[in-house]
Structure 1
Amino acid sequence: MWTYIKWGIRLTVLAVVLAFLHYTLPQRDIVRITGTYNRLTEVGANSIFYASPDSGTTTTTVDRRDIRFIEAVFPDGDVMVYRNEDTGWIWPPYFKYDSSNLQAEAKNLESPKETPQWVAVTHYGWRMPIFSIYPNAVKVRAVEGPDVRLIPWVSIIVLGMLGLALLMLRRMWLQFRERMIDPAVDDLNNTLDAVDARADAARDKARGFWGRMFGRKP
């Protein structure tokens, strides 16, 4: 039973870490931009998926913001809507302060279906219509076509550094356990063994004493 619980905890932690990385690391979509607009949006229970109020355009005590949006279409016809908010110096660390310029660039890259201009939109986050959650666009640039191959260098470097850090932490933990924990456990086991041996000797001695006391013939 305990084995299942441990594996359940490990899988849960792994799922949380993977979801965090998938949300935070930059992703790139090849799309055709069809429109850009601003909309007054009231941020409520889903505020965790929006920029901090200090980085947005909140003007009242109610978190109501004038958020920029970018509409796009994938090569297969599926649609996507991106929000365009500054991130400031708060997590995730994209240090984005040029949402106005990005909106102008996206507007300039709009194209009709007949003569498409394909664009690589770099973003982070998820699109969940049921919760009114949008990925945040951080960069747009024109590409040659819908089949262009883009290598996610940033994600590769970040994941590589995380993997290296985990290996170093594991090595440090193994060395710490070998030098500190294992000797302490061995000493504790030796102490317990010695206590057990003394207890067994005392018990045997007591049995011998009472055996001699009650084993004598009158």
Structure 2
Amino acid sequence: MRYVGWTILITFWVALGAALHYTLPQRDVVRIVRVFEERQDLNDWTRIFWSRPDEQSDTFISRDVQFLQTVRANGRPMVYRNEDTGWSWPPYFKFDTSNLFTEAADATSTRAAPEWYVITHYGWRNEFLTIFPNAISLRQVDGPDASKGIPWVNIIILTTIAAIFYAIWVRWRRFRRARIDPTLEEIQDSWEAAGDAVSEKRGRIRRWLDTWKAK
């Protein structure tokens, strides 16, 4: 039973960590090399990794998606999608896809004359599943080693979540000490008392049998 509890607990924290890592904003310093629009098939099992800015998007089999092709400072490529989130999850309330696409097109540069930008995004990049992080905003920086800035949003959200779980844990400990532990102690005392009574009764029977053996 203990292993089942630990398994559920570990699974919960892993799922929560993965959800937060996917949802919370992240920043990359990149050089934008190309922007384009491409038709994408929305498979049923990867549809959750694409935005759903309106109800009609749930019924689409495919749709045109804007992409930003970039290169990181270490030379590794990274491709972002550019989609509105609308009022759906995650709650970025992004409605400026066209503006961001225009900014990215104006920010393209070559290896000989690079221009570096910080792209704020959420989501994951996975070549096997063909999923892309969604770009949220774009700002120019001096170079590839420029600071990405302090992630205040992540700090506030994670601190709030930690405070909520700590408050729940404290209240659970108080409830357990006040209600559950006394009840368990009463049950244990009852079992011990019952065990003592059974032992005493067995002892009496054994002594009574011993009197017959003596005769």
Do Structure 1 and Structure 2 share a fold, with TM-score over 0.5? yes
* C-alpha distance in structure 2 between counterparts of 1:202 and 1:175, whole Å: 40
* C-alpha distance in structure 2 between counterparts of 1:96 and 1:22, whole Å: 19
Shift of 1:138: 0.9
**Can you list the C-alpha shifts for 1:173-216, whole angstroms capped at 9, x where unaligned?**
2111111111011111111111112212222222333333x246
2:35–2:69 Cα contact (<8 Å) kept:
yes
Q: Percent of pairs identical after alignment?
A: 39
Query: CA-atom RMSD, angstroms?
Result: 2.4
Amino acid at match of 1:165: I
Residue of structure 2 equivalent to 1:18: 17
1:64 to 62, 65, 74: 62
- SS for the counterpart of 1:131 is coil
Residue of structure 1 equivalent to 2:109: 111
2:41–2:61 Cα contact (<8 Å) kept:
yes
- SS for the counterpart of 2:30 is strand
Residue of structure 2 equivalent to 1:139: 137
Residue of structure 2 equivalent to 1:169: 168
Shift of 1:166: 2.0
* C-alpha distance in structure 1 between counterparts of 2:23 and 2:169, whole Å: 24
- Alignment of 1:35 with 2:34, yes or no, is yes
1:122–1:139 Cα contact (<8 Å) kept:
yes
Alignment map for 1:71-86 (pairs within 5 Å)? 71-86=69-84
**Can you list the C-alpha shifts for 1:66-118, whole angstroms capped at 9, x where unaligned?**
11111111122221110011112222221222212211221222223333221
Q: Which runs of 5+ in 2 are unaligned?
A: none
Shift of 1:139: 0.9
Amino acid at match of 1:139: S
Compared with structure 1, are the counterparts of its residues 113 and 152 closer, same or farther at alpha carbon in structure 2 (3 Å cutoff)?
same
1:53–1:63 Cα contact (<8 Å) kept:
no
- TM score, norm. by length of structure 2: 0.87
* C-alpha distance in structure 2 between counterparts of 1:184 and 1:93, whole Å: 44
- Alignment of 1:153 with 2:152, yes or no, is yes
Compared with structure 1, are the counterparts of its residues 148 and 53 closer, same or farther at alpha carbon in structure 2 (3 Å cutoff)?
closer
- SS for the counterpart of 1:130 is coil
* C-alpha distance in structure 1 between counterparts of 2:2 and 2:193, whole Å: 32
1:70–1:81 Cα contact (<8 Å) kept:
yes
Q: Which runs of 5+ in 1 are unaligned?
A: none
- TM score, norm. by length of structure 1: 0.86
Amino acid at match of 1:46: T
- SS for the counterpart of 2:128 is helix
